[in-house]
């Protein structure tokens, strides 16, 4: 068997992931890009390639929605859960994140492309809240 970390080093995976992360507009997306690891099972590889293809086709046909520079709300939400008082800056950050979620959800709902299968699950996880926004 081979040592995966040594293999990743040989492939210079960290440089590839840093380059990928530099193209991401959201903080959480940058973190996710840096933590990626190659798939080893053919089923997983095929499924991820299908998702990538669907994302490319949607972007090419309908132009991508703007994500802006919404920071990850995880820290703010954790503070809110423990009862901390949020600052105006934190509330505006949450509002911006909710706006991005609403915009992306509306973008997908306005597209009548029925060939999208794998990404619909991800779009279905988005829950806009215009009132809270």
Each residue's pLDDT, cut to its tens digit, for the chain (133 residues) gives 567 888 888 889 999 999 999 988 777 888 899 999 989 899 999 999 999 999 898 888 888 887 777 777 888 999 999 999 999 999 998 998 899 889 989 988 888 777 788 888 888 999 999 998 8
Q: Cα(133)–Cα(120) distance, rounded to whole angstroms?
A: 23
73 Cβ partners below 8 Å, 6+ apart? 93, 94, 97
Q: Is this model's pTM higher than 0.95 or not? A: no
85 Cβ partners below 8 Å, 6+ apart? none
Q: Cα(4)–Cα(14) distance, rounded to whole angstroms?
A: 13
Q: Cα(119)–Cα(76) distance, rounded to whole angstroms?
A: 28
The two counts, helices (H) then strands (E), for the chain are 7, 0
CA dihedral (45, 8, 122, 67) positive or negative: negative
């Amino acid at each position: 068997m081979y040592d995966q970390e040594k293999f990743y080093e040989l492939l210079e995976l960290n440089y590839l992931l840093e380059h990928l992360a530099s193209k991401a507009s959201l903080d959480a997306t940058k973190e996710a890009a840096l933590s990626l690891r190659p798939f080893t099972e053919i089923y997983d590889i095929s499924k991820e390639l299908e998702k990538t293809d669907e994302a490319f086709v949607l972007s090419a046909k309908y132009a991508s929605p703007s994500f802006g520079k919404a920071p990850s709300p995880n820290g703010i939400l954790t503070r809110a859960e423990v009862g901390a008082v949020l600052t105006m800056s934190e509330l505006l950050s949450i509002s911006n994140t909710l706006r991005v979620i609403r915009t992306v959800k509306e973008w997908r709902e306005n597209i009548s492309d029925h060939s999208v299968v794998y990404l619909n699950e991800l779009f279905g996880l988005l829950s806009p809240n215009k009132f809270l926004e």
